[in-house]
């Protein structure tokens, strides 16, 4: 059974956040930049719940702004196609409206990153407490190594969001290209390059979605573990340690120190990593395994976040049912 979260994401979290002293709220906002871990679990629960609530609101605001921008762009295209005079008359106000939507989207991106950073900072402390409470294989119910088979996959909802965003962007590009072709009678070289790049992007995204919907990220059975995507597999007797690492987001040096991302990496330290790397086929998968080994110290890396069907706590809890290897958080 998955471990239940220790924080709330409804109005109770916002009420608990507002009940905190102003000095505590200021310290929490600056805490991720100072790389200071939260020691108080109750405060971490409030921080994570409030950040989750506000992040969800900012996300809805972003999608509403994007929908408004798309609707105004399509309206301008239809009006300009029907009447050149009407298009000239409506070009200025529609252009100002589109500019306002862009300004709103940029302005909401700043608080969205701030709330997301706040949520993930509190979530780190909550996850550490939850992982520390996971029983070892010898203390778990049932015989060690006899847990049911488990597969971790990418959530279809996340893939649907990626496909929807890519489709909307392609719709805008192809729609504007069609409008330019109807009104001007020809397409400039810039539009042709944009159409080619958009087509390539759509094909790559569809191929990535197809590859992620069929195989599991990792498959855990009583006989051992297997990563179908890379071809890595092994037994539980080879696992020496389980390491949990917090992901880092790309960005400026100051922002790179803050936990912007909620992705965690569960690394299985195996006895002979080079033997597993040499067994990987084809060659480009072997390069990826070597890169993971240089970065994490092992080619067996399990990503865990809300994009996947199991959180980092669920992954560690499942692994502890199969192996008595110690768990460490780096």
pLDDT in 10s for each residue of the chain, 330 residues = 344 445 555 678 788 888 889 888 888 888 877 777 788 888 888 888 888 888 888 888 777 777 777 677 667 666 666 655 444 444 445 456 556 666 777 777 788 888 888 888 888 888 888 888 777 655 554 545 566 778 888 777 777 777 777 777 777 777 777 766 777 677 777 777 777 877 887 777 777 666 666 567 888 888 888 888 777 888 888 888 999 888 764 443 333 334 456 788 899 998 888 888 887 777 777 888 888 888 888 888 888 887 788 888 888 888 888 888 888 887
Q: Which domain holds residue 29?
A: 1-133
Q: Are residues 47 and 146 in the same domain?
A: no
Q: Point out the domain boundary residue: 190, 215, 240.
A: 215
Do 252 and 126 lie in a common domain? no
Residue 278 and residue 243 in one domain: yes
Give the end of a domain, one of 85, 101, 133.
133
Q: Are 93 and 238 part of one and the same domain? A: no
- For residues 108 and 185, state if they share a domain: no
Q: What is the DSSP string of 141-163?
A: SSSTT-PPPEEE-B-HHHHHHHH
* Sheet of 264-270, strands arranged across: 301-304, 264-270, 239-246, 327-329
Q: Angle at which helices 22-34 and 84-132 pack, to 10 degrees?
A: 90
Considering its fold, how many domains does the chain have in total?
Answer: 3
pTM of structure? 0.71
Tell me, yes or no, whether 246 and 187 share the same domain: no
Contact 137, 222 (CB under 8 A): no
With a CB cutoff of 8 Å and minimum separation 6, the contacts of 203 are none
Domain co-membership, 36 together with 145 = no
Q: Do residues 177 and 325 share a domain?
A: no
| CA-based torsion, 87, 88, 92, 95: positive or negative | positive
């Amino acid at each position: 059974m998955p471990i239940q979260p220790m924080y709330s994401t409804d109005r109770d979290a916002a009420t608990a956040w507002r009940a905190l002293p102003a000095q505590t709220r200021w310290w929490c906002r600056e805490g991720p930049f100072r790389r200071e871990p939260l020691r108080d679990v109750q405060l971490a629960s409030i921080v994570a719940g409030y950040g989750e609530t506000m992040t969800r609101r900012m996300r809805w605001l972003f999608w509403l702004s994007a929908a408004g921008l798309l609707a105004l762009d399509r309206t301008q295209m239809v009006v300009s196609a029907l009447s050149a005079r009407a298009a000239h008359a409506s070009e200025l106000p529609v252009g100002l409206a589109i500019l306002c939507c862009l300004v709103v989207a940029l302005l909401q991106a700043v608080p969205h990153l701030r709330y997301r950073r706040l949520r993930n900072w509190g979530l780190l402390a909550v996850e550490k407490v939850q992982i520390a409470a996971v029983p070892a294989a010898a203390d778990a119910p049932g015989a060690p190594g006899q847990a049911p088979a488990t597969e971790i996959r990418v959530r279809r909802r996340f893939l649907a969001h990626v496909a929807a965003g890519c489709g909307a962007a392609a719709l805008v590009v192809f729609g504007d290209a069609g409008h330019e072709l109807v009104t001007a009678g020809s397409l400039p070289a810039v539009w042709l390059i944009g159409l080619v790049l958009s087509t390539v992007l759509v094909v790559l995204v569809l191929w990535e979605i197809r590859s992620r919907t069929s195989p599991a990220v990792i498959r855990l059975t009583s006989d051992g573990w297997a990563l179908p995507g890379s071809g890595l597999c092994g037994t539980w007797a080879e696992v020496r340690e389980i390491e949990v690492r917090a992901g880092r987001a790309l960005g400026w040096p100051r922002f790179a120190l803050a936990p912007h991302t909620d992705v965690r990496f569960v690394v299985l330290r195996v006895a002979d990593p080079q033997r597993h790397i040499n067994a990987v086929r084809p060659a480009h998968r072997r390069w990826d395994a070597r890169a993971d080994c240089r970065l994490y110290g092992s080619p067996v890396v399990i990503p865990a976040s809300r994009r996947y069907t199991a959180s980092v706590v669920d992954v560690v809890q499942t692994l502890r049912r199969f192996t008595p290897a110690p768990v460490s958080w780096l």
